[in-house]
């Protein structure tokens, strides 16, 4: 089984709808991240969490919210989706206990289309 | 803004040649550096990490780091068509923050 899983893998939704993307990991890592990737813009950090009680905004958090329900689960919500949130979304994990260098491991991604 | 710069490419090399991918970064206090490979539509996969000045070799891959010049590179020897992908450079400014990623260099290995 994959260490980092994301659901759904693909989603098409309409403008104004609320949508949640979920990430689960079995790596036992304490840190989790959400990125979006757009052609020509690279990976951009949306939110990150260093433990269950710690949530931090990344460079593009507007229009998004997150929830760290447990060490293994980190969800990303779009409260009212808009077309420019169409992108590939990745969850990633890292673990300060095993790697002070913050190596990150990525889930398979969710392709989101907002019509 | 902490910058990580890469040429977007595409970099085209013939099969069997050495591919050289370069990355510069702006934050002088950066401590660790990573190379990820990403196939189209797939997630980034960590292939190399380097923390000290000099070279680090792993199979056909060699990462090179020069902190004084704020430069990190990835060499791929005996390039194969399966190496065709986008290579992302990532920099960790310190252990208390997330990685900064470059936009990636597209590599095409032609048979």
pLDDT of residue A95: 86
pLDDT higher than threshold 90 for residue B77: yes
pLDDT digits (tens, 9 = 90+) for B48-68: 999 999 999 999 999 999 999
Cβ within 8 Å, pair B88-A102: no
* Predicted local confidence at residue B96, as pLDDT: 58
Number of A–B residue contacts, CB under 8 Å = 52
- Gap from B91 CA to chain A (nearest CA, Å): 10
**Could you give the dihedral angle defined by the CA atoms of residues B79, B111, B90 and A91, in that order, rounded to the nearest 10 degrees?**
-120
Interchain pair A108, B42: CB under 8 A: yes
Higher pLDDT, B9 or B81: B81
pLDDT score, position A42: 86
Q: Does A45 touch chain B (CB under 8 A)?
A: yes
**pLDDT at A40 (0 to 100):** 81
Burial B46-74, CB ≥16 within 10 A → b, else e: ebbbbeeeeeeeeeebbbbbebeebebbb
């Amino acid at each position: 089984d994959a260490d980092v899983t994301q659901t759904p893998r693909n989603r098409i939704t309409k403008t104004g709808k609320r949508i949640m993307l979920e990430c689960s990991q079995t790596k036992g890592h304490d840190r989790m991240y959400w990125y979006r990737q757009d052609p020509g813009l690279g990976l951009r950090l949306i939110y990150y969490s260093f433990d269950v009680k710690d949530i931090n905004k990344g460079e593009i958090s507007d229009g998004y919210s997150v929830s760290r329900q447990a060490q293994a689960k980190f969800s990303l919500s779009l409260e009212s989706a808009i077309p420019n949130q169409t992108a590939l979304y990745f969850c990633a994990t890292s673990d300060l206990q095993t790697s002070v260098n913050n190596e990150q491991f990525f889930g398979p991604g969710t392709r989101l289309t907002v019509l | 803004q902490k910058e990580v710069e890469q040429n977007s490419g595409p970099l085209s090399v013939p099969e069997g040649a050495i591919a050289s991918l370069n990355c510069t970064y702006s934050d002088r206090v950066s401590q660790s550096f990573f190379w990820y490979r990403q196939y189209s539509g797939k997630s980034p996969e960590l292939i190399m990490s380097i923390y000290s000045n000099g070279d680090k070799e792993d199979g056909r891959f060699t990462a090179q780091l020069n902190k004084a010049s704020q430069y990190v590179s990835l060499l791929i020897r005996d390039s194969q068509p399966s190496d065709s992908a986008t290579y992302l450079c990532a920099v960790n400014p310190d252990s208390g923050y997330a990685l900064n990623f470059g936009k990636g260099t597209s590599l095409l290995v032609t048979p």
